[in-house]
Structures are given as structure tokens and as C-alpha cells.
Structure 1
């Protein structure tokens, strides 16, 4: 049985529909990210799971029990907020003990459980400090410890890393995933940051305008997006428009302004007609003639961006389409702006999407 089960949830505020027919399940110990742009409904969905908002229709089940009439304090969920919400006048130990006291935990259990959870979040010895004496990363772990120590059925984390700098976010992302896994804690994480979602979650619920666009593992969501929105929101992509003229089994031919393109047809791909090809930058190679890809396209190099470990080449195809190629920054010579380049990719390097998605 799923620990969390949302069935056809809807929520409106006046004439604005924030969440529209959202259905998904979360299994025991699974980490699921609600991902999407601002206003897509992810935070409203989280608030309905927590009990801070009531759905206009649909049902929410936690551990098989219907939550319709249950207030937040009866749902046994742990909450970690964007601003941590630590009490500044309390010590770390008092902050962590707060939730246990409110839930009636026996007094003789509070101190040992507090020390134990501090060990588990890698913060031994800070129990007598106050929040202002801690770094942002330490405060985040204290907030996590305060929620985990109550042994919730579900952990709800709302933009947990948004207040931290980029390097600390990367470090904390790995630590949070390890901590949640060690507690075998079923977790829902709300974020607009695709890297955060892909680094933390076992599955991603991608939302757009209140509806679910796609539910999948991070790898499949990136490699096999089902819609143009999913392909565009997750990572970077090149778009080539054309007409799918032939499809036989798993092979197809798309006629485009830059020539015919051989493609691999995947489950859910359109069968014929106008289509949009999605090609990830790392799949669009600069060819040197030693390897002949299935599709070759002439282009003019426009600019080169050094992005840390990567080099991004921007080129213009003969029909005017601007595309990007991604290579590793290992000292390899890159084309000079204005020079002619040959780009190539294979049938498995592009995803065929309905052209209507581009509207």
C-alpha cells in the first residue's frame, strides 16, 4: 500500500485553478519531488497534504486513512520550511524537543532522542547553541532533525535549499538524501530547481499550470520527455521542426528544413505528421569526419561559452535555427566564431514530440 495517495485533487482560489485533477502515489521510503515553475501548483499540493488547505474535490490518503476531516496536527507529517522556522530564543536541543513535547513523547525519551538525531544529521555537540550561532547549512539540518525526531509517516520539505549558496546547496543536497534514506523516510520535496529535484528524488512529479505534465525517474524524465514542456523545463534542448513521413517499427524519417533525419520511434511517439525533434546539447556532436553520424548538418559557429567543466558552442543552421552543442572542457580546440562546422547525431539522440506541443 502506498504511504501517500492523492486522487483527483482540485483546488481553486476564486477564478484561479491552482491544482487541477492531480493524482499520484508515493511508496514507503520513496523521495518524490514536486517540480515546476512558480504558480504551477506544487506548494498548494504540499499544503493540502499537510492539511493547511482543503481540496475542493478529490481525496488524500496517508497510510490508507482518509485525511478529509483531519487537521494538520493529526496527520503525523514532518515539515521543513524554506526559512527553517527555528525558534531564535531556544537552544538547538529545545528546538528539536519542541515537536516531541507537543506530541506527548514521554519526558525520559526526549533528551536521548534529541542527541541521537543530532548524531544522525551529523551535528553532535551543538545541542546547547542557539540558531544564530549556526551556519545556514547547520540550521537546515537542525530543522530536518526537528521534523525527523517525531518519526513522521511523511516528511514534507518546501524549497529546503533555496536560502543557501550554490556550493552549499550541492553539499546539503547529498547530505539530505543520505539522511532521509537512513531514516527510511517517505518524503515529498517541493522545488523549482531541476538540479535539486534530480539530485534528491527517486521520482519527479513535473507540474505545469496546476496539472501533472509527467511523472518519472530523473533519468527517464531527462532522456525521454513526453511533452515539449517537459523537454524544455528539464535541462537544455535544441528544437528542429519537421514532418514525420515514414515510420516502420521503431525507425522513422522526419523531413526537416536541414534535410531528412533518421529517428528512433519510442513508446508514445506520434505516428506521422508535423513533429518537433528534441536534441540535447551533449547529443549534438561536432564531427571531424572520422565518425559519420546518421544525420549531419552544416552550421556556422557563432560563439563559445566556457561553463566550468563544460564548453557550449552556439551555431546557426542554414535555415536560421540557433543550436547548442556541449563538450567537456578538456583543452580541445573549438571552432572560431564565423567558421563552418559540421554537426551530427544518431537516431537515438533525438526525441520525437507532437508539433502541437510547441504552441
Structure 2
């Protein structure tokens, strides 16, 4: 499995330094070197046990020097893999900014991982000149697992706007408030899908409808949402709405919330980031202290060793991540309670 190399910690003020990305990732392969018999038993494990990591957003959020990692604009790391190595990757960890998710990330990342070719049972042939995965007819299909880490509040946005996310319209801020998200929630509570009066062009851009075409074999989707801890109540509203989302697949299947309570992680980062000036320092000072007046049972996670030069730095900004699991089910087997 992969592990973080704490001997080479990333600077804490870098925007890509966060839980799970405190340092460059390394893949433990020493076991493969013990003898020929062990190698033949385990040489596929590093690719089957570790996800392909894709970042679709600003280059500043991409951690340097990690294996099995690429972005739509920089494919050099995955290009180093041989076709048989790439073909044995069975999961994808996708980190995406909200406006990118609503602007076609589902399709772009599926083309990087070759989902359609895998679904059709084709084998990896390398990469096209455009940088996308190339698969040709052959052997055995792979069933992928996906993870999307969405950071709606960790970028240069107006901090006074309420967080919102709705999978059945292509841009959630088309109405400039969270009204569309809440409208969808109320409709789903009544057992019907919301009608947002979209034209045909808008319907094509709905990210929640893109899994059926671009991720047809997806079995499990983990949706991880992150924002400043001062906006946790807004994030809770998004999570409440997300529990009623369904993502249509093919053959009468869909992805549904598995009914389990969302997991929550609170973590401290740097006192200042490069995008702070765009947010406004007054708001940053307010949000740095907001958690003190908000009761929470979520402890602050220790995600990296503390170095000596960080001991007397400015107070850290706090963030919160909440994740939901969606699993593949028949559309008629809706067993999740709507009492949320």
C-alpha cells in the first residue's frame, strides 16, 4: 500500500498539504524483491491496491512527486506506467474543484482512466497523442471503485455565499443562491426527482447524469466534501441534501447513499495561504475563531508531525471534511430511509 514519507514533509503553507497529503506518497515494493516466488505472487498488488490519483483543478493543489498521479493538463506520471501496469489499476481517487466538477470532470477523468475500454473488456494499449488512455479489444473487464474529493470552500470564492451543490443542474450558482439545492431536496423528500426547467443544452451538462456513460461499472462512490470549519453548518446542509441524491447507471441500476452516518474529519492547516488576500483578512480572522463558539464533537486530527519551526507560528486555519458513501443498487431496491 502507499504511505506518506514523513522524512520529506511538504511545507504546511502549501495548499496541497492536507490530511493524506502531508508528504510525498511512496509505494512499498520491498516485498517483491525478496525472491522470484514472492514476486510472481505479488507483482500486481501495488497497482490493484493503490488508486490512480487525478487532480482536476488549479496546478497549485497538486502535490509533487507522487506515483500513480496525473492531471488532465499533466499526464507525465501515468505515462511512465507500462500498459499492463495501468490496466491493473482498479480504483480512482479524484480531487476536483466544484466549478470543474460542474464543467466536465466526470468525462475527463474517465478518459484518463480508460473506463469505457475497461467496461467493454478491452486491454490497455498505452496512451493516445492527446494523452488519454488507449484500450483495444481483448480480455477481462475491471470493476472500478471511485472517490471524489470536492473542496467547495477551499479556494478564492466569496466567503459570504452559502455553499451549495446539486448534481442535476450543471452549474449550482445559476440562481446565485442555494435555492436550487434546497428545491431538489424538498422534491426528493416527496419521492420525485426535481424539475429545474432546463433546456436541452443545460441537461447535457448535469454532472450527476454522467456516471452512466463514463463510469458504467462503478460499484462504490465516496464523496468527500471540504470547507472552512466556520462554514460547517453550511456544509451540513449540503450533506443533508446529498443523502437523497441518486446517480443513474445502466441496466436499471443507480448509486444511492448507503444509509450510514457521514464520517467527519477536522484538521488544522497553515495560518495563511496564497489565496487569503482574495478572501479578505477580516473574514479570515473571524473564521479562525468561529469554531471556538461552535460546539463540535469532532476532534482535530493529527495529520502530520509538528516541526520545530512551526511551534511559534500564527494560529492555524481549521477545515472540516465530511464524506458519504454511495453504492450500486437496483433502482427499485430503494431501501434508504428518507427521514434525514
Normalising TM by the smaller chain, what interval?
under 0.3
Alignment TM-score, normalising by the size of structure 1: 0.25
Alignment TM-score, normalising by the size of structure 2: 0.26
Structure with bigger helix share is 2
Structure with bigger strand share is 1
